[in-house]
Structure 1
Amino acid sequence: MAEFSNKTVVITGAAGGIGLCLAHWFGARGAEVVGIDKSITSGGAMSSLEDAGAKARFLRLDIGDAEAVETAFSEIPQVDVLINNAGYSNHHVLRLTNPESWTEEINGNLNGAFFCAHAAAERMKRQKSGVIINVASVNGQSALGDPAYSAAKAGMISMTRTLAQELGKFGIRSNCVMPGTVRTPLWRERAQKDPDVLKTLERWYPLGRIVEPEEVASVVGFLASDAASAVSGAVIPVDCGLSSGNIVMTRELTLEDL
């Protein structure tokens, strides 16, 4: 279980549902985890890693601030793996999105991921090795609401491929995962408004369920590991089959109970 011993893994959005799960996954496998989050309560969430015996430290940081990101990364002695996991959306439809909110969400989701990748890549070039993994979303390939967030995630997918192309000569790999609906505290909050929301969403997933955070962590962990040493530029859905097609429409077209 010490596959990542002597490795430093930097995770943005580390106090959230997927981020905290990622932190525990890598911490349990011997990595030194540097968790980045802008939430005031993030440090308390990260303390659970230390309670589990993992090597971890927390940096409170707004990744949308390019100068602050450069300063923070300059103080991290080693960066072996960067996981750009931070993401959010406060405006779920275009009608409620204005130029200010669009700019804010693009900055917090896409620009912040670039700022971190830029800072980490400079360190990784000197090491002649490194892995950058971007946590995008199925929203990056389909119009599923949250327009600014979705545009940012589409940009992350494109950025992943550019990083793979240009950084490969330095021994740096870049890959991307696209989760579908993941069972995180955010969805538990939404379920308080509509207790059947997840049951409704599950109809759209061929596996008949939504994604667990641990399932995202397992795929990210594979991409960060030596087992994926020849994988770079890949964009992998982790979505219980959602992006394979439209199962609800297929049922209605064929009139069959699939």
Structure 2
Amino acid sequence: MTPPSRFHGYAALLTGAGQGIGAAAARRLAAEGAAVLVTDLDADRAVRTAEQIREQGGTAEALSCDVGDRASAEAAVAHAVAAFGRLDVLVNNAYANHEDATLFEDEADEPWAHTLDITLTGPYRCSRAALPHLVASGRGAIVNIGSVNGEQDFGGHAYSAAKAGLASLTRTLAGHAGPRGVRVNLIAPGTIRTDAWAGRDADLERASALYPLGRVGEPDDIAAAVAFLASSDAAWITGTTLRVDGGLLGVNTGFRAAMRGGTDSR
């Protein structure tokens, strides 16, 4: 069944949309009628996603964008407005991450700074550039892609701090932009089967046992939530964090199993 055209006449810009969650969200918005600008640091990945969308009958353009650079972020917004005549939706998905040092005191400044710059300041740059156009659209929405790491310890000092900061920015920007007609929300995914987990099927299988729903997430699970929060179906929702995590934060499956002697009785 073809999804309803909730986004007919809409234009959307997505960052980090060359693969994974961003690509799935771009495909979902386009399938529901939006014209989408697929941006990614890797231009070839952005082009491939945009081509896939056009092959499926959607409207899409591709552009290389480095959210770590103000001029690049502003150019992406300008490109979307020039190409589509408007901008209604911004999806901030681009992020950076790095392996923690074994000891916290051995952490280096540069990886920390880079992770925060891309994962937190990147959405700040893109939102700042997009906001006047989202206000002008009369139905503007920003959807930030956060993480359960921003709410609970799953490792990753800089990444977790950046995602927690993004949740805070979501709330403060929602308060600022709400009176101007723009909604701002955040999705906190759990473990999602993306290229970041390539070659780690055993790890994903172990992780699945910690989820009350018995599996890790797929990019399309997050794309569906993006489409909801970006649409008029969420017209009275702003400043919120929507957990799309298979119940991970709400139910301590590991503890429950431990109290049953390690048995799993879903």
- TMscore range, shorter length: over 0.9
1:69 aligns with 2:81: no
Stretches of structure 2 that go unaligned for 5 or more consecutive residues are none
Judge conservation of contact 2:13–2:77 (CA < 8 Å) in 1: no
CA–CA separation in structure 1 for the residues paired with 2:75 and 2:137:
19
Stretches of structure 1 that go unaligned for 5 or more consecutive residues are none
- Of 8, 29, 32 in structure 2, the residue corresponding to residue 29 of structure 1 is 32
Tell me the CA shift for residue 70 of structure 1: 1.7
**Higher mean Cα deviation, 40-49 or 161-170?**
40-49
Alignment partner, residue 232 of structure 1: 238
Judge conservation of contact 2:38–2:49 (CA < 8 Å) in 1: no
Corresponding residue pairs, total: 254
Alignment partner, residue 58 of structure 2: 54
Sequence identity of aligned pairs in percent?
35
Output the amino acid matched with 1:47: E
Aligned CA RMSD, in angstroms, stands at 1.6
1:157 aligns with 2:167: yes
CA–CA separation in structure 1 for the residues paired with 2:50 and 2:237:
30
Question: Following superposition of structure 1 onto structure 2, how do residues 171-186 of structure 1 map, counting pairs within 5 Å?
Answer: 171-186=181-196
- Of 239, 251, 261 in structure 2, the residue corresponding to residue 245 of structure 1 is 251
Question: Following superposition of structure 1 onto structure 2, how do residues 14-163 of structure 1 map, counting pairs within 5 Å?
Answer: 14-42=17-45, 43-77=47-81, 78-93=86-101, 95=103, 97-163=107-173
Tell me the CA shift for residue 142 of structure 1: 1.3
Q: TM-score, normalised by structure 2?
A: 0.90
Judge conservation of contact 1:173–1:232 (CA < 8 Å) in 2: yes
Q: Aligned in 2, Cα 1:209/1:98: closer, same or farther, shift over 3 Å?
A: same
Tell me the CA shift for residue 86 of structure 1: 1.1
Alignment partner, residue 206 of structure 1: 212
Output the amino acid matched with 1:206: P
Output the amino acid matched with 1:133: V
Output the amino acid matched with 1:48: Q
Tell me the CA shift for residue 205 of structure 1: 0.8
**Per-residue displacement from partner, 1:188-223 (whole Å, max 9, x unpaired)?**
x242xxx42111111211111111111111111111
Alignment partner, residue 217 of structure 1: 223
Tell me the CA shift for residue 75 of structure 1: 3.2
